[in-house]
Structure 1
Amino acid sequence: MKARLLTAAFLAFLPVAAYASCAGHDAEQASSCMSGYTWDPEAGACVEVVSS
């Protein structure tokens, strides 16, 4: 019973792991930038938001 449960949990987790890896999108991150910053896809990093 325990082996079946672990196998089912592992198989259920596979699509989540594949989605989180962002295959083909190496310059993108799954996490968000801290407050006051935004993601710049050209720089491939979080940059400070400048307000006028």
Structure 2
Amino acid sequence: MKIKTTLIALVLAAAPGLALAGGGCNSEKTNISASSCVEGTVYDAATGTCVPQTTS
């Protein structure tokens, strides 16, 4: 019984840390960089995405 209680306490103590391990809502957005944009697009830091390159 003592081992079971200890294991349950350890799982409950680790649960908040596991919930934060996902990186949050913006984790995918921050993984894009200028080098990952395809040809003809440029990285827009304001939106965090690749946008079509405009020529003037």
* TM-score, length basis structure 1: 0.48
Q: Which is higher, the Rg of structure 1 or of structure 2?
A: 2
Give the structure with the larger helix fraction.
2
